Each structure stands twice: as structure tokens, then as C-alpha cells.
Amino acid sequence: MLNISQQTDERAVSYYRHSAEDKQENSVAIQRQFAQQLARRNNVEIIHEESDEGKSGLLANRPAFERLFKNWIENPEAPPFRYVFVYDVSRWGRFQDPDEAAYYTYLCKKRGKEVIYVSKGFPDETHPLISSLETSIQRYMAAEYSRQLSEKVFNGCVKVSEQGYSAGGTAVYGMARQLLDVKKEPIRILQTGEHKQIANERVSFTPRNDETTEMVKEIFSLFVKERYSIPDIVTSINQKGILSANDKLWDKSKIIKILTDETYIGTRIYNRTWGRLKQKSRRNPRSEWIIVPNAFEAIIDEKTFKEAQERLYWIFPSNWRKGINAIKRARKNIRNDIFKWLTEKGLTEFEAQEIILELPIIFSVKIEDEFLCQWCFLISEKTRRYDNALGISVVMDTKKVVDEFLLFSVQDFTSTNFLVFSKNSTIYHSAKIESDKIEETIKLLLKQVKKYKCQFSKRFYSL
């Protein structure tokens, strides 16, 4: 006698995923159990299973997920089946772009395969719009779960870093990871791949005090005190046979990396880059970094490090080029703003252009790091005939290149026509003007131009 209840009308392939962060109720075994129950209730035969253990759902490049598409969904020679069983939307993936989750579902649909979420069961054919809306919401919730979890982890790392401790990662060349107990007392040096075992222990950094530490000191000494060029330092070190961090010969990039790393002066820095949720990494502006000076024992003193940064900055032609291009952009932006303002006051375009060329406006690139913030403004002899000059501070690494405005007396400049000062100087504080005072300052410059020029129209003198 035939057992009609055991006959199956359709076939399915199942996909399971369990990540390291998931709770036990999301295990592959439990997902398989629910999938099989759904299959029995609906007379569906599961002919193949794929599972990703310990894999994040943020991206599609998971071995089993890729096999599912390559060997089954997109393979015309695969055994026939109609459904793809997956426990829920989050097991399909926690894609940060919900459209990406929908895209892979569409690829299945395009080849005649329907994705069935086991926790929901087969969709209600009479209300397809409601079912689709519910799935879209669940995709967003799956992505949001990962975002919130990532934010919690990040905030925890920030808190640890603000205390001067390591939130993960390896030690730089010449330094080691130091394990600290609950009282923040040193326990031992952690080896590569070794991690703390107790939650309230902390990890800091400390000099290795071996040949790698001495090599860091020698690199700074050769560059700052001996005034070696970077290629000469490379040659000198390689001749001694001491290898770099990756057990290879030294090159220019490795020397520069040593010379610019603030870890060597005991500074803990976190959040240099953003690269969460498997997204493309990007460099964060320094204003977003977590910087803790004197967090651990230094190898290099601050004075030597500062001198190295000053010499490095001007040793590369790229910095000169970036500075020149930033000033060009700033000059263009400022002139366009003044041109618009003058024409709105009734001057012709020709008159406005001629006046702009006469205005005593000077530019300087702002040089800034952990220890230094200074400017060097230059004036021409033409500018010296005026009483004041508008100084514009330019920054290179942002889209908005104009940074600050300063109004100088030309008497502040030396006989060599340059003025160098830092942010802590009295010149900076006395010269700095707020952006809402710019129009008033431009009017002051125009008065000076009127004093020395007579060929402009009556409209100009009425400004």
C-alpha cells in the first residue's frame, strides 16, 4: 500500500549560517531542525545543504554562500529544485545595504528558485505586497543589529583607548604588548597571537629593549642628529644585516613609517581609520583620533620626534606641491567671493577684477601636528606700501581649504618679508579675526587701495 503522506512534490536546497557572535539558538543544528520540519509539513525534499560556520553575514564572500550560487542556483546542470530554504533574513545576510540582500534573492528568482524563510514559512500568496514589505523591514533590522553591535564594540574600544590602553592590534617595531593586571601592574610580555584571558586585565605597550628598540633609536639619531638622507639611512642599516619587522630588508617607506609613528614617544592613538562592518576602510581626520600622550614608556624623546617631523615635512616635494595647490584653490575661492560682492555693489566685472588684483591678501599653509601649529606668511614689496594685509590660513587635507583669517600690520613683518609664528604666540591672538568680520575687513583693505590708487571709477570710491 502506498504511503501518500510520504510523497514529496517539490525539492529544496538549504543554506545555514552561524557567526561567532551569534547565540546558541542560531546554531546550524537548530536551523537544520526547523528547515526539516517545514519541509515535512509541506512535502518538500531537501536534496542538499550548505552551511557557513563562524562567518559574518555582512558580506556575500562566504564559502558556502558562494557554493550555493555557483554549484546550485546558477548551475544549469544541477539537479532540479524549486526552493532555497534559509532560517530567516539575518541568516541570508546582515548586508548593510538592504538592496544587496534583495539582489541575491532576485538572482534566485531569475533562475526559477524561490527563497523561503523558514521562521516565517511559505509566503501568503494572497497578500504579496504585505509579505514583501515585511521582508524589507526585516532586512533593515538585520543590518541595524550589526550596526548597533559594531557601535557598542567601538565605544568600548574608545573607552579603553582613552585610558591609554590597547584596544587590539599588534605592537610596532621595537615595542611589545605588555599585559597588566587588574591593578594595572605589569604581568608579562604577550607573544604574537596571545591575548588577555581576564576581562578586567589591560594591554599596554612597552619598549622591547632589544636590538629592534636600539634600531629605532639609531634611525632617529641618523635622521635628526647626523642629518642623513632617508636613502642613506636605508643603506646604512641594511649593511648591518638587521632586518625590518617583516624579516626583510629596509626600504624608504619603512624608515618613514618609523619616523612618523607617535607610538615611539609614548602616545596612544586610536581611530586613525574607519573600517567597521566589512566596509571599505577610510582614513579619519586627526580631529576624530583618540590621542593619549604619555600613555606608556617612550623610546624617543618629544624634542627629537618634533625635529624629525619638521625635517620630514619639507623633505618631500609632494608637500610643496600640495601646499601650492591648496593656496591656488583658496585664492580662487576668495577672489570669486570678493568678485561677486563687488559686482553686487554695482562695479563692472572689469573694475572688480582690477581691484581684486590690488587687494593686500596673503596666504600660508597651516603646519599642524601633535606638537606644532604654525604659519609662515610672505609679503611682497607691493603689499608693504599698505598698512594692513589680510592673511588667510590654508589647510591641505580637507575640501574646505580656507581655515582661518588674520589681519596683520605690515610692521609685523621683518625686513626679509616673512612672518613665522605659532598658535600660542601673541601675534596669532591679536591678528585672528572671526568669519563674520570678513566683510568689514575687506572694506578696510578697500580704503587702503583708495588711498594709493586714483584710476578707479567713482562707483569704487562710493563703496
Residue for grid cell 623633505: 315
Percent share of the chain, pLDDT over 90: 39
Using one digit for the tens of pLDDT, what is the confidence trace for 14-57?
999 988 666 666 789 999 999 999 999 999 999 999 999 988 88
Work out the pLDDT band at 388, boundaries 50, 70, 90: very high
Residue 2 pLDDT > 50: no
Average pLDDT over residues 411-425: 79
CATH class belonging to 4-147: alpha beta
pLDDT at 212: 93
d(CA 177, CA 188): 9
Task: Note the pLDDT of residue 165.
Answer: 81
> What's the predicted TM-score (pTM) here?
0.51
The torsion region of residue 204 among left (phi > 0), alpha (psi -120 to 50) and beta comes to beta
Q: What 3-state class would DSSP assign to 67?
A: helix
What pLDDT is recorded for position 47?
Answer: 94
Residue 279 pLDDT > 70:
no
pLDDT band for 77, please (50, 70, 90 cuts).
very high
pLDDT at 135: 78
Q: Where are the domains of the chain?
A: 4-147, 175-225+256-314, 317-461
Side chain identity at residue 355, one-letter code: I
Q: What is the pLDDT of residues 116-133, one digit of tens each?
A: 999 888 987 776 776 777
Q: What is the pLDDT at residue 44?
A: 94
How many Å apart are CA 2 and CA 365, to the nearest integer?
A: 88
Tally Cβ neighbours within 10 Å of residue 133. 11
CATH code of 175-225+256-314, in short, is 3.90.1750
> What angle (nearest 5°) sits at the alpha carbon of residue 395, between those of residues 389 and 398?
140
More confident residue, 168 or 187: 187
Q: List pLDDT tens digits, range 150-169.
A: 677 667 777 877 777 877 77
**How much is the pLDDT for 6?**
45
pLDDT for 83 equals 95
- The answer to whether residue 211 scores a pLDDT higher than 60 is yes
Output Rg (C-alpha) for the chain, integer angstroms.
Answer: 33
Please return the burial class of 274, using the count of CB atoms within 10 Å of its CB with bins 0-12, 13-18 and 19+: middle
CA–chain centroid gap for 185, Å, is 33
Residue 4 has pLDDT above 50, yes or no: no
* Higher local confidence (pLDDT), 247 or 197: 247
For 301, residues 6+ apart whose C-beta sits below 8 A from its C-beta are 265
Inter-helix orientation angle 252-260/230-240, to 10°: 100
Looking at the DSSP bridge assignments, the partners of residue 115 are 84
Helices (H), 18-93: 28-41, 63-67, 89-92
SS (H, E, C) 413-446: CCCCCEEEEECCCHHHHHHEECHHHHHHHHHHHH
Q: What is the mean pLDDT of residues 244-255?
A: 90
Q: What is the pLDDT of residues 342-377, one digit of tens each?
A: 999 888 899 899 899 999 999 998 887 656 688 888
pLDDT grade for 458, boundaries at 50, 70 and 90: low
Distance from C-alpha of 194 to C-alpha of 188, rounded to nearest angstrom = 11
CA 259/CA 292 separation, integer angstroms: 19
Can you tell me the distance from the alpha carbon of 11 to that of 45, in angstroms, rounded to the nearest whole number?
5
Residue 1 in this model has a pLDDT that exceeds 50: no
Most confident of 166-170, 222-226, 397-401, 453-457: 222-226
In contact, 44 and 38? CB cutoff 8 Å: yes
